[in-house]
Amino acid sequence: MARRPSREQPAQGDPRRSLPGVDRLAGALLDGDATLGWAAAVAARAELEAAREAIAGGGPAPAFESLEAAAAARARALVAGRPRRVINATGIVVHTNLGRAPLAAGALDAAGRAAGYSDLEFDLRTGQRGNRLAGTADKLQLLTGAEAAFAVNNNAAALLLAVNTLAAGREVLVSRGELVEIGGSFRIPEILGAAGVRLVEVGTTNRTHPEDYARAVGPETGLILKVHRSNFEQRGFVREVDLGELVALGHKTGLPVLEDVGSGLLLDWREHGWPEESHIAGRLRIGADVVCFSGDKLLGGPQAGLLLGRVDAIAAMRRNPLARAFRLDKLTLAILDWTFSALLDGRAETEIPALRMLREAPERVRARAERLARAFDREAAAAGVASTPRVEACEALVGGGSLPEFRIASWAMVLESTAPSVDRLAARLREAPVPVIARVDRGALWLDARTLADDELDAVATAVASALKAPGG
């Protein structure tokens, strides 16, 4: 909690004395825009508090006009609500900071249908209590060939649930090369600690051999865990034990093998050059007892954690009290179910936005980048700004902390600018009515057409033209 502001009166001559009162600043905001309502006073108070802190840190007292402008922006953001829609021109398809996979229109309709009363946990045939995941889990099994399936809130919860169910109070073997931090404070050793198991580190950072695992197995061992590195790659003198080798050891020792795949793909894109290790059905075929992965990465669906594997292992997870703590809400469940149906119907690559973006042919992306450049030329001419963008080949990324080395051929509209600077331009784009998030690279502004939708091009063109025109360097 923030400390309460001091009620002490600043001394004579203290620049804090020149700050306006909350009522005066809030009143000015409401005179400018009466629709700000309750947000005017909240924003005024926050802005004055920030100004007092800046002054206490040795800064000058801000002018009334700049306080008013900053407070007005703060109030407008409050009224607009969060999360705010943005336009993703970064070329990072599953952008973690921008909400990962964008949801399909059909998925939102499904969520709308589930928003009121539904048969969420009601069996319409018997009139008795029903299972929240009935039907949805069946679709996931159909898609992957898994014996059983379960779903929770996110993949961190899925991993915690699986490890706790399979090995509570016992030892879990993990390669030192896989003790990763995924970002957003997800670290394997800490998750294992929270799951109530003891981590046994196997091998070295760069090299782990099958014998290392075999030697680490003891009477206390409960589980062999493999974690996809997701956000980095190792090169040089490296040796990783692959899933097949771990499965063989599991069979020999009677230990279950769990793989955290991270970003799992339910479609088989291996023939298009996509990595083997993302393909979920393939991981099960190799013989993992359980695999887990995220719903909002390469699956293209809602935030969720999917668990697939042996019937007994999955049934034990369902019975674990943590499963209740991690359970999916009805809107997520509806979106997940819609996503699985789209995959089963063969509509996924046209209807699920992330999958469509990842697979769109480069020529089509190039055509969109060219349409963006033409729209920009029109806007720039109308605004009287002289700027000649290029359309250039570039590389888009999957994102979501997955497949860091996997590049997708893409095209971007590229702008160079000195006044305003490219960084200033990118900052102004973030202040557009619908903020545009661009990439700054090699001294230029890149607007990658792979993550842009056709109906966003005019808004991007307008935002770039007005960012170039705005006064100030």
Ligand X SMILES: *Cc1c(COP(=O)(O)O)cnc(C)c1O
Binding interface with ligand X (CB under 6 A): 154-156, 182, 186, 227-228, 230, 260, 262-263, 294, 305, 401-402
Please report how close the Cβ of residue 401 comes to ligand X at its closest, in angstroms.
5
For ligand X, give the closer residue by CB, 184 or 471.
Answer: 184
Which letter, b or e, does each residue of 132-159 get, where b requires 16 or more Cβ atoms within 10 Å of its Cβ?
Answer: bbeebbebbbebbebebbbbbbbbbbbb
Query: Vertex 240, ends 237 and 244: CA angle to 5°?
Result: 150
Spatial separation of the C-alpha atoms in residues 268 and 184, rounded to whole Å: 29
Please report how close the Cβ of residue 180 comes to ligand X at its closest, in angstroms.
7
Q: How far is CA 461 from CA 24, 46, 157, 271, 383, in A?
A: 38, 34, 41, 37, 11
For ligand X, give the closer residue by CB, 154 or 462.
Answer: 154
Q: How far is CA 362 from CA 100, 367, 412, in A?
A: 22, 9, 11
Nearest residue to ligand X on Cβ basis: 262
Q: How far is CA 57 from CA 50, 52, 60, in A?
A: 11, 9, 9
Could you give the 3-state DSSP secondary structure of residue 398?
A: strand
Q: Across-strand partners of 227?
A: 260
Could you give the 3-state DSSP secondary structure of residue 317?
A: helix
Contact residues for 418 (Cβ-Cβ < 8 A; gap 6+): none
Please report how close the Cβ of residue 205 comes to ligand X at its closest, in angstroms.
17
For ligand X, give the closer residue by CB, 178 or 212.
Answer: 178
For ligand X, give the closer residue by CB, 62 or 305.
Answer: 305
- The secondary structure element, H or E, covering residue 79 is helix 64-80
Please report how close the Cβ of residue 237 comes to ligand X at its closest, in angstroms.
23
H-only helix segments in 384-450: 422-430
Bond preceding residue 420 cis, omega within 30 of 0: yes
H-only helix segments in 320-415: 321-325, 330-344, 348-351, 353-359, 362-383
**Strands 305-309 and 390-399, how do they pair?**
unpaired
Tokens of 285: 């075929």
Q: Across-strand partners of 292?
A: 260, 307
Please report how close the Cβ of residue 95 comes to ligand X at its closest, in angstroms.
13
For ligand X, give the closer residue by CB, 230 or 410.
Answer: 230
Please report how close the Cβ of residue 324 comes to ligand X at its closest, in angstroms.
18
Strands (E), 129-180: 148-152, 171-175
For ligand X, give the closer residue by CB, 10 or 404.
Answer: 404
Could you give the 3-state DSSP secondary structure of residue 142?
A: helix
Spatial separation of the C-alpha atoms in residues 192 and 174, rounded to whole Å: 10
Spatial separation of the C-alpha atoms in residues 48 and 45, rounded to whole Å: 5
For ligand X, give the closer residue by CB, 186 or 269.
Answer: 186
For ligand X, give the closer residue by CB, 256 or 305.
Answer: 305
Please report how close the Cβ of residue 227 comes to ligand X at its closest, in angstroms.
5
